[in-house]
Structure formats: structure tokens, C-alpha cells
Amino acid sequence: MIEAFRRLPGIGPKSAQRLAYHLVRMPETEAEELAEAITGVKQRIKLCQTCADITEQPTCHICQDLNRDRRTICVVEEPLDVTALERTRAYNGLYHVLHGAISPTSGISASDLKMKELLERLQDEDVGEVIVATNTNLDGEATAMYLQRAISPAGIKVTRLARGLPSGTDIEYADDATLAHSLESRSEIND
Amino acid sequence: MIEAFRRLPGIGPKSAQRLAYHLVRMPETEAEELAEAITGVKQRIKLCQTCADITEQPTCHICQDLNRDRRTICVVEEPLDVTALERTRAYNGLYHVLHGAISPTSGISASDLKMKELLERLQDEDVGEVIVATNTNLDGEATAMYLQRAISPAGIKVTRLARGLPSGTDIEYADDATLAHSLESRSEIND
């Protein structure tokens, strides 16, 4: 059991031990409820057949929502990125979840991701813009480049989330790469 | 002595006590060296008569450097912001240090800063662009707005460091304001 817990994200050997000992002392009914919750989730949760986000229906609630702008697709790495973007209430288009990023160093290529599904979607649906919202690290950059090269020849605009200084930053504490980029991408202030 | 240490930035009551007890046990020569270093710095350090950065000369080494682009001035809040921007090696213009930011909540106005000195400099020197590099918080924004309104009527371009997602960010952990801004300011990816 300790080994099983250790494979979970954010749980080290000590936390795994604590969790295991806690379960040993737990009333049997509670432990069964937890086990059933885990099995139940695994059985109920599927990937949306359109955007590959996690859902309990064949199609997720965002893809089903007719009030959303169906001509814009935001491509993210993970389902939790959809949650983060939805929390801002600043986006009203659809999503596509890749379930990872292209990573030359870890040997993850486009064929390991939901990339084929995205390109098929772009052929079938009338999409005007693909917003790339991959992480701003090397793998996220590689994925953004791949998407741009695969999609823009079809005449679809490919954009990327702005990079620069985050809100509430002291210039003094900004990292060099971010500061250099924000200098390079500076823009005119208008009234 | 504990009280004197407590007034320094980043030093709480416990650190102040530890520092004070350490000084009590210090050899007298060492303690005198430290005291002289502090007094010496206060006597030698002045503000550059051009940009108000701290320096030991009447004019700082950046303002004296003839290889720098004298038509671009980057306006920062504090001397440490100059250090941060210099570290990136991405900027080759001059600076102007305001020694603070306009803060309606703390009652700090333009006349409490080196703002008059900046506006006089812009009249005397041939400047094409002022880059506002104030912090990305409310006071920094207020200062940027003030600078834009005071400077752009003179026909000088006023720009601001790009805001958005910093390098190495997971979308999942980005704060809502930054994420919403980076969506709004997204830009097309080009080859």
C-alpha cells in the first residue's frame, strides 16, 4: 500500500507511510467508501469525444454549451489547465486537451498526444483561431512550434498567450529570461 | 541596538536579537570595521546627478558610458531595478530612478519622486523613447499612467514592459489576473 501511495504526485515516502498507517486505523466502512470512490471515478470518468477533457458524459459540458464561440479552440496540455482558464472567466471558446506536451528529451512525440484528434477536428469544424496555451517551458515551446507549423498552412490563425511580467511583480525579483523577454516585447502605452 | 536592526528590511524581532547578540560577542576590531563600513557608505554614496541611481561619482558609470543608446531612457522605481535590468544584458539605453512610485493609498505623489528631474531631462536631451519599467502592481500602474500623460504630449514614445506569463510557468498554477491578461494580449505565432 505504501508503494501504491508513493506513485501518486506530491506524495513522498514519509507521506505515503502516514497515509498507509492512517488507513490501517480507519473504520472498515470508511476505508471501503474511499476504495469505492476511487474505483467509481475510474469507471465513470471518460475523455470527451470532441476535446478530450475529462467528463462523465460522452461530450463534456463545454463542448455541449451552445453559447460558446465554436470558431475558437484553446489548446492546453492537461485537464487542470482548462479549469485554470475557466476560472478567469475571460475565455468563451472551446478547448482541446493534448494530455501532455511534445518533449524531445523525454521521447514524447505528437503521436503520443491527442494531436491527430485536434487536426481532424480542424478539418471538420469551422475554426478561425487556435490559441496555444501550453506551458512556457521548453516542452511547451516545442509543442507551440509544432502546432503553428501543422495548423497555419490550413489558413487558421495560430496565437499564443502573451508572455511577460505577471501581475504584482517587483522588477527587482523578476527572473532574467522573463525580464529580457518583457523588454523585447514592450508595447506603447495608449490612453 | 535591537530596535535599530528591526528597522532594517527583512529583519524581524528574532533576527534583530540574534544580530545584536552576535555583535556583543564580536571582537572589538571587527565591530569597528562594520560600523566604519556603514558610515563610509553613507558618506560616499550619492545619487547620480543625471539619472538618480546610486553612485560614488557625481555621474554614474551608465550615464558616463558613451557606448549606450542615449535616445532611450528606462524609468524604474528603485536602484535595485537597474541592477535587475542590467543583469539581463538585454538593454543598452540609459535609466532614470524615481525612488518610489505614485501611490494614492499611501499619499505619495509625483512631487515626492524624482519626476521633475526626469521631465527636465526630457526637455534637455534628445530622447526618442521612454520605457516604463515600474512594478506591475497598483502603484506601478498609477505611475505608468502618470508618465504616459506627462511625456507623450511632447511627442516622445512611451512604452511599457510586456505583461503576461513568465518563463517556466505551468498554466495550471498561473494566477487568474495574469492568465486573463495573457489571453487578452495573445499574439499570432510566426515562423
What confidence tens digit (pLDDT) does each residue in B134-153 have? 999 999 999 999 999 999 99
B179: nearest CB among A77, A88, A144 = A88
Residue B90's closest chain A neighbor by CA? A180
At B177 the pLDDT is 92
- Closest CB to B188 among A158, A168, A189: A158
Region of B93 on the Ramachandran plot (φ > 0 left; ψ -120 to 50 alpha; else beta): beta
For residue B5, the distance in angstroms to the closest alpha carbon of chain A comes to 23
Query: Is residue A191 predicted with pLDDT exceeding 80?
Result: no
| Nearest CB neighbour to B161, from listed A136, A165, A172 | A165
Smallest CA–CA separation between B32 and chain A, in Å?
Answer: 32
Task: Give the closest of A166, A168, A172 to B165, CB-based.
Answer: A166
Predicted confidence (pLDDT) per residue in B43-62, tens digit: 889 999 999 999 999 999 99
For A154-182, what is each residue's pLDDT tens digit? 999 999 999 999 999 999 999 999 999 99
User: Are B73 and B61 within 8 A, CB to CB?
Assistant: no
B9-35: burial string, b at 16+ Cβ within 10 Å, e else: eeeeeeebeebeeeeeeeeeeeeeeee
Q: Is residue A179 within 8 angstroms of chain B, CB to CB?
A: yes
Does residue A89 surpass a pLDDT of 90?
Answer: yes
- Tell me whether residues B90 and A183 touch, CB distance under 8 A: yes
- Indicate whether A42 pLDDT > 90: no
- What percentage of residues in chain A have a pLDDT greater than 90? 76
Residue A1 pLDDT class (50, 70, 90 cuts): confident
pLDDT for position A77: 97
Q: Above 80 in pLDDT, residue B191?
A: no
Q: Which residues of A touch B85 (CB under 8 A)?
A: 171, 179, 183
Q: Please report the pLDDT score of residue B95 as a whole number.
A: 98
> Residues B89-103: pLDDT tens digits?
999 999 999 999 999
Q: Is A132:A159 a contact under the CB 8 Å cutoff?
A: yes
Q: Which residues of A touch B101 (CB under 8 A)?
A: none
What's the confidence (pLDDT) of residue A40?
A: 85
Task: List the single residue in B136, B148, B168 with the smallest CB-CB distance to A169.
Answer: B136
Structure confidence at residue A92 (pLDDT)? 97
8 Å CB contact of B158 and A191: no
A115 vs A34: which has the higher pLDDT: A115
Q: Which class for A54: exposed (0-12), middle (13-18), buried (19 or more C-beta within 10 A)?
A: middle
User: Following CA atoms B61, B66, B69, B71 in sequence, which dihedral angle do they give, to the nearest 10 degrees?
Assistant: 100
Which tens digit of pLDDT belongs to each residue from B8-34?
A: 888 988 999 999 898 888 898 988 998
Q: Taking each helix axis from N to C terminus, what angle separates B138-151 and B115-124, rounded to the nearest 10 degrees? A: 30
Q: Please report the pLDDT score of residue A59 as a whole number.
A: 96
Give me the pLDDT at residue B81, please: 96
Note whether B168 contacts A137, CB cutoff 8 Å. Answer: yes
Largest CA distance in chain B: 65
Show the cell assigned to B92: 543598452
Q: Which residues 33-92 of chain A have a CB within 8 Å of chain B? A: 76-78, 80-81, 83-85, 87-91
DSSP state letters, A142-168: HHHHHHHHHHGGGT-EEEE--BSBPTT
Any chain B CB within 8 A of the CB of A174?
Answer: yes
Alpha-carbon distance values, A32 to A45, A105, B71 (Å): 20, 41, 72
- For residues B50 and B59, the answer to whether their CB atoms sit within 8 Å is yes
pLDDT recorded at residue B170: 93
Kindly state the average pLDDT of the residues B105-120: 95
- pLDDT value of position A76: 98
Q: Is B148 on the interface with A (CB under 8 A)?
A: yes
| Nearest chain A alpha carbon to B130 | A188
Pick from A91, A175, A185: which is nearest to B166 by CB?
A175
The larger pLDDT score, comparing residue B3 to residue A77, is at A77
How many degrees, rounded to 5, is the angle at CA A168 between CA B190 and CA B188? Answer: 10
Query: Chain A residues with CB inside 8 Å of B89's CB?
Result: 180
